[in-house]
Amino acid sequence: MAGWRAIHFRRGGPRSAGTAAARRVVIVVLATTALSALVSGLFQPFLPLYIASLGGSATDIGLAGAVTGLAYLLAEGVWGLIFDRVGAARPLAISKFVTAAVFVGYLARTDLWWIYLLQFLRGVSEVAMAPIGRALLAKHVPREGRGTVMGMYFTTQTLARSGTGIIGGGLVDTLGFRALFSICAISSLASGLLAFFGLRHTVNEVLADAPRSTSLTVWRVGLGREFVLLSILADFGFWAQSGWTTF
């Protein structure tokens, strides 16, 4: 765990004051990510079951998944731009509060068109954690520790989802979908409060060892061959995964 030691045990030197802030950012991002993944793990496996219980067809289930994917596509880059301009605390908090409101919306009515709207809003709000969380870690973790901490970020997501399907299934079978929606709403609200109070003093700047780029340079890098290739591969992987996980 050399990468974590680089964050946790560095003492003295010009960056010693920033080390505690970097550790705080890592802890808050991982905790917020865990709560977000917990909500997703509780809810997502049972969305098809919920739609089917309302009389929805396989097409209706696919449409609900499609509008969520469309929201991811439209919103992820926008959240990244917002982060670059105003930082992390407010965008993350707002996104989690919107997610909480979506689950309250599930308690309000059961029309299929309403579910499609809620799924689109949930996609817009849920995807904020992806660009903002990764950007925070890249900006505030020393270069020699970024690989380790990024691995911890994705491992945290997996661990938080592990076993939550059983919990969600038990809630649905014993207390019904309303209990599941209520717990998801409360957890989303908690993650929003954690993100806001944990990151509100975070300075949105790159560490001294990272190259500073103008907007034009960033735009040119974004059009690079490697970036485009990785984006296409990621798209195919997401489409393949979403096709079978939805059902």
Report residue 246: phi and psi, to 5°: -60, -35
- CA–CA distance, 4 with 148 (Å, rounded to integer): 7
- Residue 214: the pLDDT is 43
Question: 2 burial class (0-12, 13-18, 19+ CB within 10 angstroms)?
Answer: exposed
- Do the Cβ atoms of 68 and 246 come closer than 8 Å? no
Predicted pLDDT at 225? 63
Going by the DSSP 8-state scheme, the letter that residue 211 receives in this structure is: P
Tokens of 149: 């901490």
CATH architecture of residue range(s) 2-211: Up-down Bundle (1.20)
pLDDT, position 94: 95
Q: What is the mean pLDDT of the chain?
A: 79
For the chain, list residues with pLDDT below 70: 1-18, 203-247
Q: How far, in Å, CA of 106 to CA of 119, rounded? A: 10
Distance CA 11, CA 137 (A): 20
d(CA 222, CA 239): 22
Amino acid at 40: S
